[in-house]
Structure 1
Amino acid sequence: MKRFKILSLAAAVLGASSTPLMAMTYFLQADLGVHNNQHLCRYSNGKVYSFNSTKLCELSIEDSSLSSGNSTGFKIGEYQDGMTKVCVYNVMGQKQALRVGSIELCPLSYNF
């Protein structure tokens, strides 16, 4: 009986350290460069992720957030990038970006 409890405990610990069940792997599509101390990288899910400006874009990322429009971001800034504009949002303490046409207005809030 004691051996069974140890194996059960080991299985529970190993299961807890694995990646979340809803995690998806996305691959780097474009390095958008460094803007305002943030390195912006676009991935295959269409989202732009920001990292510290001293870090390079990862070739792939694991994203466990559910992208069902349940995270609302509020605009904290914007900048021109060539023929487009990048709108930057605060989504639950993390920065996310949305790319729009250069003459379009950034929405004050956006569901990510």
Structure 2
Amino acid sequence: MTLPTTKRINSAMLQSTIGETVRFVGELKGRQDNIATFLSSDKGTVMVHMSDGAQYGTKFMEIIGTVNGDRSINEMTSTNFGHSFDLETYDAMIVKAQKFPSVF
């Protein structure tokens, strides 16, 4: 599957990216049926509608998906990011990427 170019976001950026394909990294906090709850790098909560066959095997995940009007994400694909990931540093990178998009 070929994925479109995506911008990296945190929970505060969801409202401005409705309908867009985005790249989101967060800490998995729970799942119920096909909905996963994540803690975002900016400490917000993000709900992800998991794709069929999604394999969430680690504490931190990267999700590529489309942002819905309710600020949830429909997952297209996901990547396990391990059990140790510095969300605070990642959030600083996201903020810099918004200011200097040509670098990222």
TM > 0.5 between the two? no
TM-score normalised to the size of structure 1? 0.29
In terms of fraction of residues, the more helix-rich structure is 2
- With a CA cutoff of 8 Å and minimum separation of 6, indicate the structure with the bigger relative contact order: 2
Larger radius of gyration: 1
In terms of fraction of residues, the more strand-rich structure is 1
TM-score normalised to the size of structure 2? 0.30
